[in-house]
Every structure is written in C-alpha cells, then in structure tokens.
C-alpha cells in the first residue's frame, strides 16, 4: 500500500469515533431503546442492524490499525469487508422490500417507492464509494477518502432518526432534506480543504457530485424516470 505522509490518522480516528456516537444516538430512538423485547422487529432487522454496526466499527478500527502500524490487522479486516459489504447491500435490499410490502397496502406503489429514493441512493453511493476504495486499495490517499465516503453515507440514516425523534416533526419542514444537504455540504467542505491544501481533488469531487446527484433524485422522486426504475425494482426484486 502506498503510504502518504500527509495523512492525519488521529483526525480520522476522532471523526470515526464521532460517527459511531452519532449512529448510537440515532438508532437508540428507533431501535436500541426497544431492547430486549424489540417488538415489531424481525430477525431480518437484527441482521441488518448488526451488519451496519459492524461496518461502523470497521471504520473506527481501520485507521487505528494504521496509526498503530498494525498493517497485517488492517489488511485482514480489509479483506473481511469483501464479505461484509455485499451482505450489507443484500440486507438493505431485503429490508427495502419488506418496507415496501408493509406500506403498499395503505399507499400507492408510486408513493411508497418515492419514499425509498433515499434508501436506493444510499445503496448506490455505498457501492460506488466502496468499489472505488477497493480499486484504489494500493493508493492510500484515494482509498482512505472513498472509505470516508462510506462513513458520510452512514450519517444520513442516523441524522434522520435524530431529527424525527427529538424535533417537532409537525412543522412544515421536509426533515429528509437536512441529512441530504448535510452530507453534500460535508463533501463540499472536504473537497475545499483538499483544494486549499493543493491535494488530489479527484476523490472528493466524485463524492460531491455523487451526493448532488442523490439530492437531485430525491427532488425528482415522483418523476417518470424514477418511477420507471421503481417499477423495474418492484417487478424483479420485490
């Protein structure tokens, strides 16, 4: 793996620990607080939650291994992600399918799938960033940034749950937009830092435009293009 002297692993470790805390706060309201009975949750939800938690823990551990020069452990858990990442993708699709069939009786198929625009774009972005991280696994600088991209994705669901749990959702505010714009703004800020420091701008540029595309899809979730994709998904995956 190509080493880059300018990588500040301390800042990355701190950021990943902060992510871990945010995830715990977000999912406490919608999941953890129901321990140990977990009423209305199935084993599918538990598996999905465990996989997501494992990914966040992996994001915390990997920079720690680099900082402490435990490169063998870093490589081992990196290879473990080859199994974990596909399982996360599969579990997300299954949970989306379960959610679709739960609500489609009370709402139209178009309405339900419009809600899932956020989920499907998170899935797309995760696959994109993780694939690029693996492609650049021997280029530390780019690999690290694309893995950070997968971490930013995790902020969205957590922030959405925090907003729904602790803010007045009766207000005429689209609370889905706050996590979306927050992720886009974070990607823009990280890109700005790399440009200011004259570092490789490619990873965060891809990331920023990807998040902008996800924002666009959310605003176009009732469009014929998105609904056509929805009908394809419903027919072949749901």
Compute the radius of gyration of the chain from its Cα atoms: 18
Q: How many CA atoms lie within 13 A of 196 on its CB side?
A: 6
Beta strand ranges found along 72-225 (DSSP E): none
Residues of the chain with pLDDT under 70: 1-7, 34-37, 168-173
Distance CA 236, CA 11 (A): 43
Distance CA 64, CA 124 (A): 27
Determine the pLDDT at residue 164.
80
Is residue 82 packed enough to be buried (19+ CB in 10 Å), middle (13-18) or exposed (0-12)?
A: exposed
- 91: number of Cβ within 10 Å: 18
Determine the pLDDT at residue 23.
87
Is residue 134 packed enough to be buried (19+ CB in 10 Å), middle (13-18) or exposed (0-12)?
A: middle
Determine the pLDDT at residue 54.
95
Determine the pLDDT at residue 172.
53
Determine the pLDDT at residue 173.
62
């Amino acid at each position: 793996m190509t080493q880059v002297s300018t990588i500040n692993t301390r800042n990355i470790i701190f950021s990943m620990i902060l992510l871990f805390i945010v995830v715990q706060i977000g999912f406490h309201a919608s999941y953890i607080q129901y321990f140990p009975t977990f009423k209305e949750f199935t084993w599918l939800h538990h598996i999905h939650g465990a996989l997501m938690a494992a990914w966040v823990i992996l994001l915390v551990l990997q920079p720690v291994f680099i900082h402490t020069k435990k490169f063998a452990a870093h490589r081992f858990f990196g290879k473990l992600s080859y199994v974990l990442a596909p399982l996360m993708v599969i579990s997300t699709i299954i949970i989306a399918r379960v959610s679709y069939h739960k609500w489609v009786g009370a709402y139209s198929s178009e309405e339900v799938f419009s809600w899932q625009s956020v989920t499907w774009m998170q899935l797309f972005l995760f696959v994109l960033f993780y694939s690029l991280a693996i492609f650049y696994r021997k280029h530390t600088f780019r690999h690290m940034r694309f893995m950070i991209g997968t971490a930013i994705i995790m902020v969205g669901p957590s922030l959405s749950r925090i907003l729904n749990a602790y803010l007045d959702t009766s207000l005429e505010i689209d609370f889905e937009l706050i996590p979306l714009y927050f992720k886009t703004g974070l990607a823009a800020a990280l890109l700005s830092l790399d440009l200011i420091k004259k570092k490789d701008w490619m990873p965060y540029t891809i990331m920023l435009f990807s998040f902008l595309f996800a924002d666009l899809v959310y605003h176009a979730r009732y469009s014929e293009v998105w609904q056509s994709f929805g009908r394809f998904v419903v027919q072949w995956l749901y």
